Amino acid sequence: MQRALLGAVSPRLRAVTCGWEGFEITLRLVFDGEVVDQDFEDAGIVAADVAADFPAPGP
């Protein structure tokens, strides 16, 4: 999670949680004030980086 957040933390980002159970990963990003388009884009990049660190589901 920490690696995925490098370079993606805006001044509005206040908190981040990450959890997983089985093959489901849950991320929660809390922003101060209105979320802007750049925040959504950064959150998507963080989510992709976190998911890439997990092994692919088996058969």
Structure tokens at 32: 């101060």
Contact 27, 18 (CB under 8 A): yes
The domain locations on the chain are 2-52
pLDDT (tens digit, 9 = 90+) per residue, 1-20?
888 888 888 888 999 999 98
pLDDT of residue 37: 93
pLDDT at 17: 94
In 1-59, beta strands by DSSP E: 13-21, 24-31
Q: What DSSP designation does 33 have?
A: S
